[in-house]
Structure 1
Amino acid sequence: MSVKVLFLNGTLKKSPQESNTEALIKKSADVFSKEGAETEVIRLVDYNIDYGIMEEDEGDDEWLGIHNKIMEADILVIATPIWLGEKSSIITKALERLNGVSSKTNSKGQSIFYNKAGGVVVTGNEDGAQSVSRSVLYSLSQLGFTIPPNVDTYWVGEAGPGASYIEGGKENDFTKQQVSMMSYNLLHFARMLKDHPIPAEGNTLE
């Protein structure tokens, strides 16, 4: 069964700058690819994305193309560095744009994001991974994404300034375990939702 996975990389570094967040994304993407899933990474900072709670085609920007890829995906993984203890500003912007279509429904009257699985990847060199993960996963759940167990993968090193993921996290056993758990759990739920979509009874926005 074909499964499409889309990663939104919220690094603040434009391509082709090296991104710790993208390095950790690649670990997850490798797991998905090994299991036959199709993966794509979008580095959001490379695109013109307007601020605001608006529909996908309302802004004078490039969000519509990103939105269309989200709609084609079975799995959406939000990936973000931590700055000042928070997710990156461009991930906040992306979540706000997703919120702009939160009232839109599928043919059954459910959120258009129903039957898609969501996860989160976090990098940094300070505390905040669990707080950022909680914020992102709650947002995705509110929008209609299904959140399986253990779908937060992160590397933050020791508290305070320290080694980045590329410098010190690639061989960390906990992070490697989380990458595996997140990827396989998302894949399992995506396949399950394709076979058995969430029933509409009691689950419509209309």
Structure 2
Amino acid sequence: MPEGWIDLGDTESLRDPPLREIRIGRTRIALSYHDGSFGAVSGVCNHVGGPLGQGRIDGAGYIVCPWHYWKFHCQTGVGEPGYEADRVPRYATREVNGRLYLNPEPETKRAKAKHDPHPLERPVEHSEGPLRVLGISTTAMDPKEPRYSTSEALLQVGLDHARAQGAETRLLKLSELSFRACEGFYSKSAQACTWPCSITQLDPADQMDQVYEGLVHWADVLLLATPIRWGGASALYYKMVERLNCVQNAITIRNKVLIQDKVAAFIITGGQDNVQAVAGQLLGFFAELGFLFPPFPYVAHSRGWSAEDMERNVAVVAGSEELREGTRELVSRSLGLAGRLIETHMCGSKIARGGRKAHRLEPEAVE
């Protein structure tokens, strides 16, 4: 063999599995065996650096990246039809006397086509004008057969009060949005959990983009309402917050704080007890995103563990002027804090990591 070529091993042993990752020094290579031929291309995806050699080969001979499913041909490194301008480097291989050799110098260069950024990727900027309050209802119901929701009713009281104070408002009901559950991109790698969310980028029909747009780009105040379900927040709440991991993860992998100078407050109601635990989860999670809280940051109501007469629970909340007044005061405190934060610009786009995320996460430098 010519000088510099590397002996990868016995060809018989390299045919199965049909795709594997090998390393030559710091260079990752996706080595494949498909339709009776070996192929070798860069093991680093053009998108966000996913490990191509840990993916799979489809029926047409394209390597499918395990992170976000970008495709490159296992022999040529060229992108799938329609995306041929995206290419990863190709490496020459030769079979000699039952051994497979590879030239570590690539035959082709990497080429990255220009892709329009997702609208959510635009810079986060505060717009002049009235304060903006985003209400999110996490209660589950059939939109075609609506019912009275105690948490949603108080949320509407809060939004009405915000408008009376001169604020702009929006209401998002998670029960009316069609969005996929988190699919665990973070479990593949922290680098695979991107902003905007990987699902949002892959699926234009996914309506979680309305939540991202509202929280990151539009709102100054978040007013979130949840019922208590078996001692916790609602299932829709957890479905939403799992998809918000990409907002927090932008801090972990990029030290990029997307939530700046924003306030969050909460409405928690239910026939069962455990208000403090639900509030603690909400406060802990939204603090990790970067939200700040007004004094006494939630309004809550529960009649206790044994109060199974839900009709009575609904009647108590519906007839309680005290709860409505408490909600209005919560909104006033939130608007006051939001105004001061915007004036002083207290929150920056980066944050000191020690004590919070003490170990800086650095991607391995590989080609």
Alignment TM class, shorter chain as reference? 0.7 to 0.9
Paired positions, count: 203
* Cα 1:5–1:199 shift into 2, 3 Å: closer
Offset at residue 42 of structure 1 (A): 0.7
Where does residue 331 of structure 2 map in the other structure? 183
Show the 5 A alignment for 1:82-93.
82-93=228-239
* Cα 1:161–1:176 shift into 2, 3 Å: same
Where does residue 64 of structure 1 map in the other structure? 209
Return the alpha-carbon distance in structure 2 between the equivalents of residues 98 and 47 of structure 1.
15
Offset at residue 103 of structure 1 (A): 3.4
Where does residue 155 of structure 1 map in the other structure? 301
CA contact (8 A) 1:157 1:169 kept: no
**Does 1:73 find its partner at 2:202?**
no
Show the 5 A alignment for 1:123-142.
123-142=269-288
CA RMSD of aligned residues (A): 2.4
Offset at residue 174 of structure 1 (A): 4.4
* More deviation, 167-176/120-129: 167-176
* Cα 1:45–1:88 shift into 2, 3 Å: same
Quick check: which one's helix share is greater? 1
* Cα 1:132–1:201 shift into 2, 3 Å: closer
* Cα 1:170–1:103 shift into 2, 3 Å: same
Where does residue 198 of structure 1 map in the other structure? 346
* More deviation, 95-104/157-166: 157-166
**Does 1:37 find its partner at 2:183?**
no
CA contact (8 A) 2:227 2:234 kept: yes
CA contact (8 A) 2:138 2:174 kept: yes
Offset at residue 173 of structure 1 (A): 5.3
CA contact (8 A) 2:257 2:348 kept: no
Return the alpha-carbon distance in structure 2 between the equivalents of residues 68 and 202 of structure 1.
20
2:226 counterpart SS class: strand
Where does residue 176 of structure 2 map in the other structure? 46
Give per-residue Cα distances to partners, 1:54-83, cap 9 Å, x unaligned. 443421321112211222100112211111
Give per-residue Cα distances to partners, 1:116-151, cap 9 Å, x unaligned. 100111121121222211211111011100111112
1:51 counterpart SS class: coil
Whose Rg is larger? 2
CA contact (8 A) 1:157 1:168 kept: no
Return the alpha-carbon distance in structure 2 between the equivalents of residues 57 and 171 of structure 1.
41
Offset at residue 196 of structure 1 (A): 1.0
Offset at residue 164 of structure 1 (A): 5.7
Q: Percent identity?
A: 22
CA contact (8 A) 1:56 1:63 kept: no
Offset at residue 8 of structure 1 (A): 1.1
CA contact (8 A) 1:150 1:181 kept: no
With structure 1 as the length reference, what TM-score do the two structures score? 0.87
CA contact (8 A) 1:111 1:204 kept: no
Unaligned runs of 5+ in 2: 1-128, 185-192, 354-359, 361-367
CA contact (8 A) 2:271 2:303 kept: yes
* Cα 1:137–1:164 shift into 2, 3 Å: farther
Where does residue 357 of structure 2 map in the other structure? none
1:42 counterpart SS class: strand
Offset at residue 41 of structure 1 (A): 1.2
Return the alpha-carbon distance in structure 2 between the equivalents of residues 62 and 172 of structure 1.
34
CA contact (8 A) 2:150 2:317 kept: no
With structure 2 as the length reference, what TM-score do the two structures score? 0.51
Offset at residue 158 of structure 1 (A): 4.6
